[in-house]
Amino acid sequence: MPNSPETLAEARRLRDLFAAQGAQIIKADVLQPADTLLDLYGEDIRARAYLTADPLRGEMVLRPDFTVPVVQMHMQSRADPARYTYSGKVFRKQDSDETRANEFVQVGYEVFDGQNPAAADAEVFAVIAAGLAGLPVRASTGDIGILTAAVTGLRTTDARKAALLRHIWRPGRFKALLHRFGGQAKAPPTRTALLAADDPFAKAGPDIGLRSREEVAARIATLRADAAEPPISGDEIGLIDAILALRETAPHVLSALRDIVVDMPAIGDAVTRMKARLDALDARGVDIDALEFEGSYGRTSLEYYDGFVFGFYATDRPDLPPVATGGRYDALTARLGQGRAVPAVGGVIRPDLALGLK
């Protein structure tokens, strides 16, 4: 059970294990400011957050995870390097699956250290793996940074690249946009007619909806400008599709990515970082030859991850959520640090799920 005495005892064991690695034990308020947090989570978490109104503090949210509050705390302290661990409940609505818990315990380990990001990635992964030692779990990994580098390097407009980057965490929308920008998908006939009209408002009725006529006109102008741009090349789209289709052991994926770098140099630095991370994982005793890597992994998780991502799953229970998850979130520290960024990576374990596998 998510909140049983056994779960709480396992949570304390994990927290103490993480503290033994040099992490400071910290706490975060259950109620967090809604305006700050909800803007930083993906659509899934935002839709499942519990909102409440506090007479003195305004709209608040029951914390849906710990990472954002921990980053806020760290950016105020200015400690560097720093390691933190915590244990406590998080809260998420389960509108579509009543069998899943709407509150459960997380135990986390977060590292803020810019000296050697690859070593920090490997440290967090290895520490989380140690917390799950002996359990029938498998690890999956990915790297959001490789995909973002590929998009950033496309030979197209900044507006198109910004749209694609915004939708990286929505795979269906991302694919549709990519193929539309490549001329492989036709715009709806109604849009084509609208953009071709001398006066798009000639047959318009009274204004309805939340957008003003000026906002609609600006959107039409943007669509017209985009329609006039040359399509993204089929070769570039093919390379991104190839990256997303990668699913093999990490060394094989690394080899494939090195081949892709020849035609897409923009991902070169991200691939170099992946090599450094694998070396650091190997140095920590992780069997990288058996480590799974997926080019699309992490694209349906929290939107603040921007580099290495990982998850541990029950080998015999595909119906269960991940037992542990984590990743790198450098950009989040810049947003919460008012431009001052600190490289950071962390992971969490659900002790109730871990107990169920023993």
Give 194's pLDDT tier (boundaries 50, 70, 90): low
356 located within any domain: no
Per-residue pLDDT, 322: 95
How far apart CA 278 and CA 52 sit, in angstroms, is 44
Residues with Cβ within 8 Å of residue 73, at least 6 apart in sequence: 26, 28
123 located within any domain: no
Per-residue pLDDT, 190: 60
The pLDDT mean for the chain works out to 87
88 located within any domain: no
* pLDDT at residue 318 is higher than 80: yes
- For residue 208, the one-letter residue type is I
The stretch 163-168 carries a mean pLDDT of 93
How far apart CA 151 and CA 162 sit, in angstroms, is 9
98 located within any domain: no
pLDDT in tens, 329-349: 998 888 888 778 889 999 999
289 located within any domain: no
- Beta strand residue intervals within 207-323, DSSP E: 247-249, 292-294, 308-314
How far apart CA 355 and CA 108 sit, in angstroms, is 16
Q: Report which of 2, 70, 77 is spatially closest to residue 32, judged by C-alpha positions.
A: 70
Q: Are 261 and 254 in contact (CB under 8 A)?
A: no
Give 152's pLDDT tier (boundaries 50, 70, 90): very high
More confident residue, 272 or 204: 272
Q: Are 110 and 330 in contact (CB under 8 A)?
A: no
Per-residue pLDDT, 247: 97
Count of domains in the chain? Answer: 1
* pLDDT at residue 202 is higher than 60: no
Task: State the residue range of the domain holding 215.
Answer: 184-230
Lowest-confidence segment of 38-42, 123-127, 200-204 by average pLDDT: 200-204
Residue 144: phi and psi, rounded to 5, are -60, -30
Give 11's pLDDT tier (boundaries 50, 70, 90): very high
Predicted TM-score (pTM) of this structure: 0.87
